[in-house]
Amino acid sequence: MSEQYDLTPFIGREQSAHDIVDPERLIRLAALLDRSWTPSDAIPPLGHFLLFRPDERQSNIGPDGHPVRGPDDLLPDIPLPRRMWAGSRIRFERALEPGMPVFRKSRLEKAVAKRGKGGDLVFCTVAHEIRAGEGGPLLIAEEQDIVYRGAHTGAEPAKRPSIDPDFTAQEVHSRVVGPVELFRYSALTFNAHRIHYDRDYARDEEGYPALVVHGPFLATLLFDHLQNVTRGRRISAFAFRATSPSFDGEELVFGATVQGDEAKLSVTNPSGLALTGTARLADG
């Protein structure tokens, strides 16, 4: 385990933010998923990922497109430049409603430094609570896992792991995600990380052979697939974990197996498992 990072001062830090469930964002998310949406419809898949978007001033944006981390921020101020949203565990307590004012309280629950084959790693878990206004009822509870890694070294792109899913999906759907979809999702979430739109940066600085598909976008497409398989049945909990990166131009296969109120989920790319997930379905 790496001992060079003192993460203790960061654990327990909190941040809060206000937003409004803006129908314009939801219309655009639905459009990205190739459908229409009106305020009388259910919120599009994982629409809460469009809330509480970053608003950092341009002068505080780092070379990778992320805001520069400071000593007073929620996430640790450590010299590991590469960042990945590695997974989430989400509970949907109540439905978001268009135009609703919402309040999010975030807390850094865990920060652990480790030493991997490729160098130092820091794993952070951030807990979010989204409520219907400050002090209002809980709408969504989520734990997000964020991983920090050192800079890529070597002339060749990093090799992806080859992992097989641990189940055979009963319902599958395949699609290719291109640079236009990646740009539109980055714009929707105001995510300026250059690995999603700057091919030269992704290759030369972070060691990827092509543009990287956002983990949350993959999760959104997987959630959408599950909703289609279950014909809109309400999903009360959803969890996903990224296992290897996926790139633009690849065929991605979204899989689901539903047994009663439980679902097993997967996304595979040409190298193997890219994302694994589970879901719990409500009665009815």
Q: Furthest-apart CA pair in the chain: how many Å?
A: 54
60 has a pLDDT exceeding 50: yes
Work out the percent of the chain whose per-residue pLDDT is above 90: 75
**Phi, psi values for residue 221, rounded to 5°:** -65, -35
Q: Which residues pair with 142 in a beta bridge?
A: 90, 128
**Phi, psi values for residue 245, rounded to 5°:** -75, 150
Beta-carbon neighbour count of residue 173 at 10 Å?
16
> What pLDDT does residue 2 have?
47
77 has a pLDDT exceeding 90: no
> What pLDDT does residue 118 have?
67
Nearest Cα to Cα of residue 181 among 3, 10, 32, 71: 32
Q: Which of 40-44, 163-167, 216-220 has the highest mean pLDDT?
A: 216-220
Boundaries of every domain in the chain = 8-281
What CATH class is the domain 8-281?
alpha beta
The C-alpha atoms of residue 259 and residue 281 are separated, in whole angstroms, by 10
The C-alpha atoms of residue 158 and residue 156 are separated, in whole angstroms, by 6
Structure tokens at 115: 């030493």
The C-alpha atoms of residue 52 and residue 127 are separated, in whole angstroms, by 14
Structure tokens at 157: 């792109």
Task: Read off the pLDDT band of 119 (50, 70, 90).
Answer: confident
> What pLDDT does residue 139 have?
98
Tens of pLDDT, residues 194-211: 999 999 999 999 999 999
The mean of the pLDDT values for the chain is 92
Tens of pLDDT, residues 121-135: 899 999 999 999 999
Beta-carbon neighbour count of residue 251 at 10 Å?
12
Under 8 Å between Cβ of 254 and 222? yes
Structure tokens at 117: 């084959």
250 has a pLDDT exceeding 60: yes
The C-alpha atoms of residue 118 and residue 241 are separated, in whole angstroms, by 20
**Among 89-103, 157-171, 218-232, whose mean pLDDT is lowest?**
157-171
Beta-carbon neighbour count of residue 6 at 10 Å?
11
190 has a pLDDT exceeding 70: yes
Residue burial 17-41, b: 16+ Cβ < 10 Å; e: rest: eebebbeebbebbbebeeeebeeee
140 has a pLDDT exceeding 80: yes
> Within 13 Å of residue 264, how many CA atoms lie on the same side as its CB?
8
The C-alpha atoms of residue 93 and residue 84 are separated, in whole angstroms, by 27
